[in-house]
């Protein structure tokens, strides 16, 4: 074969390019260049068919998501419905808790049982039967744990004491400033004049100057309520009372600003008196204050 009749072929491979064939000729020689690209074979479908396929897949995905959302909503509604059903079925046993998420609207007590409306409560009337309390008998006044009787009948000191004993007590013994203040106030209310005084249970008839209470206890030096220069043991006009003043009375009308109302006096003089005795503790048909 002669050189002039030889054809040369130059083949080149490239990627991502379509096959192109270029034929050109040179003087006395013809070359052919063929280029192949490694691409997928073109689809037989048309562009319109491909787009419809993509839209179909997207529509399918959207439908699945919608169905999943619907199922989720139905599940939540079912759970809430079950909670409300259980809540109302248990109202007869115990009230629903307001903090339970599955029971947002529990019925009130009135809604569950209208007849169970809470009525206002009132203090219970105390039972007056067999009440145990401190009590003074009729005609006696209670102050603290002591009953006092302010006798308005006038007698000597000794006779007044006998009357107090007959009532179950004795002439009063004053043990505190508070008790003296109480007696002072009450005596001032009862007195009708300056000499309308009351015997108390203090005397020095056994030993002059040694003041003793009716129970035999000595006078407490810190609890003395003598008026002015008392006791003065006055023996009366012309010494009519040689034994002097050996008994004590109390009271001063209109001097409420002082506790010093004690006076020694002749024991035979008639005066009102103050008796005392302990409260009676027992069962009475009376409500205690």
pLDDT(35) > 50: no
Which 3 state secondary structure label does DSSP give 142? Answer: strand
Quote the CA–CA distance of 288 and 50 in Å, as a whole number: 104
Averaged pLDDT, 248-267: 85
Total-model pTM = 0.53
pLDDT(165) > 60: yes
pLDDT(275) > 90: yes
Averaged pLDDT, 238-249: 89
Q: Mind listing the domains of the chain with CATH numbers?
A: 3-37 (no CATH), 72-113 (no CATH), 131-284 (3.10.100.10)
Give the pLDDT score at 144. Answer: 87
Quote the CA–CA distance of 54 and 6 in Å, as a whole number: 52
Residue predicted with more confidence, 45 or 225: 225
> Omega into 231 within 30° of 0, i.e. cis?
yes
Predicted confidence band of residue 1 (pLDDT cuts 50, 70, 90): very low
Give the pLDDT score at 241. Answer: 85
Quote the CA–CA distance of 5 and 9 in Å, as a whole number: 13
Predicted confidence band of residue 254 (pLDDT cuts 50, 70, 90): low
Q: Provide the 10 A C-beta neighbour count for residue 35.
A: 15
Give the pLDDT score at 242. Answer: 87
- Tokens describing residue 215: 């129970």
- The conformational region for residue 242 under phi > 0 = left, psi -120 to 50 = alpha, else beta, is alpha
């Amino acid at each position: 074969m002669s050189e002039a009749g030889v054809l040369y072929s130059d083949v080149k491979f490239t990627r991502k390019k379509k096959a192109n064939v270029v034929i050109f000729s040179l003087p006395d020689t013809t070359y052919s260049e063929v280029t192949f690209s490694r691409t997928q074979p073109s689809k037989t479908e048309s562009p319109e068919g491909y787009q419809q396929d993509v839209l179909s897949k997207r529509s399918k995905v959207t439908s699945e998501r919608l169905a999943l959302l619907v199922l989720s909503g139905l599940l939540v509604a079912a759970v809430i419905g079950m909670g409300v059903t259980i809540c109302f079925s248990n109202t007869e046993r115990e009230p629903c808790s307001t903090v339970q998420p599955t029971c947002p609207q529990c019925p009130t007590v009135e809604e569950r049982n209208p007849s169970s409306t809470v009525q206002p409560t009132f203090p219970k009337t105390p039972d007056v039967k067999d009440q145990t309390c401190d009590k003074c008998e009729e005609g006696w006044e209670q102050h603290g744990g002591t009953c006092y009787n302010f006798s308005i009948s006038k007698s000597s000191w000794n006779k007044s004491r006998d009357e107090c004993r007959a009532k179950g007590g004795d002439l009063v013994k004053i043990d505190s400033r508070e008790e003296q203040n109480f007696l002072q106030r009450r005596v001032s209310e009862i007195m009708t004049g300056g000499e309308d005084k009351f015997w108390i249970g203090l005397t020095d008839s056994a030993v002059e100057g040694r003041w003793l209470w009716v129970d035999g206890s000595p006078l407490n030096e810190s609890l003395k309520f003598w008026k002015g220069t008392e006791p003065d043991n006055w023996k009366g006009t012309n010494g009519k009372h040689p034994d002097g003043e050996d008994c004590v009375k109390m009271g001063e009308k209109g001097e409420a600003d002082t506790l010093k109302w004690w006076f020694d006096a002749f024991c035979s003089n008639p005066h009102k008196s103050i008796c005392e005795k302990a409260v009676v503790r027992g069962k009475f048909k009376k409500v205690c204050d």
